[in-house]
């Protein structure tokens, strides 16, 4: 009962100890069951996000294969299918030439693509002689996958659209990389999009600049934890990793205010301080959907850039892009207005 101490960690090495080296003392996420909050509902009691200790470990390990490379490989047609509706909307907009809010329409892509994840989770019940999920665990975690993956992925797509409009040269370079890949490999799927090195750099830099989640990377301290000779994190306190600080600190990233995708290139990625880039958290309790989210974003951008050019309009916020931060997420305050031109 009563107030709990919260420790804000703004040091990548301390965060590494907490999230990885001494994970056994920080296995659980700090209490998310705030009354009236998004996880206050009892349906979430058995969700990955809330579960603790051994129960979390069981649900996490049964669910992890849902996001394996072999499962993701089967998802390209489903993601493509989910994207058709979105492309239909974009196509109509390109014909009118009017400015519109692309962020409001990107949500369409996610819903259908995620049906596959939740079906795979249900299938995990059918393997006899293996640890499987109970009905209530399947229900809670299917809902969690929608909730955790839906807004985050569409927000990431929105941020990428913003970057492409703000930096048309970057948009053009990514498009050329995609066109070249299509010419050489034909099919653009899970395997081939891994070759889009420049797109990957732009995506990582966009996640550093604008993380869809900034305050959610939090753990509960199980036993008193000695940080150094003077500081002890008390048992029961909440430890929050300050992702925004890590992403913008000159201690971890050279010229952090400059949008420079090449800092993630093969030649320079050693400049990114270990454990300082963490839009998906870090350690055994990081985002389970990271690879799926990256696949959805990459396949969506491939389709978009091969067919359309994103251009700024009167309402485009290139200079003062305003963001709204809630208890978990950070998203564009006024949508992302732009125009699309068919290629």
Chain contacts with ligand HEM (rule: CB under 6 A): 29, 48-49, 60, 114, 117, 144-145, 148-149, 152-153, 156, 212-213, 216-217, 279-282, 285-289, 292-293
- Cβ at position 195, least distance to ligand HEM in Å: 21
Q: Which is nearer to ligand HEM, 28 or 260 (CB)?
A: 28
CA nearest 240: which of 68, 63, 11, 70?
11
Are 260 and 170 contacting, i.e. CB atoms less than 8 angstroms apart? no
Q: Where are the beta strands (DSSP E) in the chain?
A: 6-9, 100-101, 218-220, 225-226, 232-233, 238-241, 308-311, 323-325, 330-332, 337-342
Are 254 and 263 contacting, i.e. CB atoms less than 8 angstroms apart? yes
Q: Which is nearer to ligand HEM, 115 or 182 (CB)?
A: 115
- Cβ at position 156, least distance to ligand HEM in Å: 4
- Cβ at position 147, least distance to ligand HEM in Å: 8
Q: Which is nearer to ligand HEM, 60 or 244 (CB)?
A: 60
Helix axis angle, 168-185 to 197-209, nearest 10°? 140
CA nearest 117: which of 331, 302, 295?
295
Tell me whether strands 323-325 and 330-332 are parallel, antiparallel or unpaired.
Answer: antiparallel
- Cβ at position 112, least distance to ligand HEM in Å: 13
Q: Which is nearer to ligand HEM, 60 or 125 (CB)?
A: 60
To the question of whether residue 221 is assigned a binding role by annotation, the answer is no
Which positions make up the binding site for heme?
Answer: 287
Which positions make up the binding site?
Answer: 287
């Amino acid at each position: 009962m009563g107030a709990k101490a919260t420790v804000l960690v703004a040091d990548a090495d301390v965060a590494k100890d907490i999230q990885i080296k001494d994970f056994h003392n920080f296995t659980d996420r700090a209490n998310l069951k705030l009354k009236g909050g998004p996880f206050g509902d009892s349906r979430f009691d058995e969700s990955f996000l809330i579960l603790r200790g051994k129960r979390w470990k069981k649900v996490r390990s049964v669910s992890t294969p849902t996001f394996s490379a072999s499962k993701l490989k089967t998802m390209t047609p489903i993601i493509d299918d989910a994207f058709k509706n979105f492309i239909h909307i974009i196509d109509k907009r390109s014909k009118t030439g009017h400015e519109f809010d692309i962020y409001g329409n990107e949500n369409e892509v996610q819903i259908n693509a995620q049906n596959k994840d939740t079906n795979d989770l249900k299938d995990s019940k059918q393997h006899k002689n293996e640890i499987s999920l109970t009905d209530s665990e399947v229900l809670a975690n299917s809902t969690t996958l929608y909730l955790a993956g839906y807004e985050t992925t569409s927000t990431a797509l929105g941020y990428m659209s913003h970057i492409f409009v703000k930096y048309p040269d970057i948009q053009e370079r990514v498009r050329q990389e995609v066109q070249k890949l299509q010419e050489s490999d034909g099919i653009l799927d899970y395997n081939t999009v891994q070759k889009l090195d420049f797109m990957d750099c732009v995506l990582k830099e966009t996640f550093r600049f604008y993380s869809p989640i900034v305050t959610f990377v939090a753990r509960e301290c199980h036993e008193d934890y000695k940080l150094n000779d003077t500081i002890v994190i008390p048992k029961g306190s909440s430890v929050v990793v300050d992702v925004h600080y890590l992403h913008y600190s000159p201690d971890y990233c050279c010229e952090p205010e400059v949008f420079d995708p090449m800092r993630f290139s093969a030649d320079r990625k050693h400049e990114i301080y270990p454990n300082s880039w963490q839009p998906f958290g870090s350690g055994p309790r990081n985002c389970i959907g990271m690879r799926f989210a990256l696949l959805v974003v990459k396949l969506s951008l491939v389709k978009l850039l091969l067919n359309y050019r994103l251009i700024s309009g009167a309402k485009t916020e290139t200079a003062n892009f305003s963001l709204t931060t809630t208890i978990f997420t950070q998203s564009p305050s006024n949508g992302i207005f732009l125009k699309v031109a068919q290629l």
